[in-house]
Copies of this chain bind each other. A is one copy, B any other.
């Protein structure tokens, strides 16, 4: 059992992406990881995939999800459901930060480029 004060959790970043791991293997979880991210205007995630199901909760901002050759535009209060291993990329197309929670069905979470090359992360997942 853990009660995490989100404001006290370690912060990390990739270019244009601020990150906090809200819950994961460091809390004893094996089947859930929860990430909170803020993507800056004009920023994006890298194109990537995970070997697990993922759900992205869009809290604020607007953007595009590119997946399986299609573009899905979204606004705030939207839920994106991604199948295991679907290569995808999320773009902030709005004027403010894109605030999201990403939920994964495994912990720790590995991230791969679409060709399968692992992406090294600057945070515990």
Contact = CB atoms under 8 A, between A and B. Distances in A.
B29 A78 contact: no
Main secondary structure of the interface of A (DSSP, over half): strand
B3 A74 contact: yes
Interface residues of A, number: 39
A50 B65 CA distance: 32
Given A7-B77, A77-B7, A1 B55 contact: no
Contacts of A82: 1
Interface stretch (A10-18, A20-28, A41-49, A113-121): A20-28
Interface of A: 1-7, 22-23, 27-32, 34, 52-55, 57, 65, 67-68, 70, 72, 74, 77-83, 86, 101, 103, 105-106
